[in-house]
Amino acid sequence: MFNTNTIDATKKLAFKFILDNIEYRKKCLYLQEIISMGRVNQIWQDALILFFDSPLQLARLKAFSKN
């Protein structure tokens, strides 16, 4: 006999795990694209240096747009 609450919770956790991994992969691909643009264009390279050298508290203000 199976508890339906456990099955539902398992499905929800598995779905959340899959969505989190997809989101992480998207962010990695975006970052790789920006880094490749930085190799071609000095402005992108300067922006990356500024973003990664800034303190963590200020980084939230300069977060990437989700649009």
pTM above 0.85, yes or no: no
User: Which residues make Cβ contacts (< 8 Å) with residue 62, sequence separation at least 6?
Assistant: 51, 54
Lowest mean pLDDT among 1-5, 8-12, 30-34: 1-5
66 in Cβ contact with 53 (< 8 Å):
no
- Nearest-angstrom CA–CA distance, 11 and 25: 21
Section 8-22 average pLDDT: 87
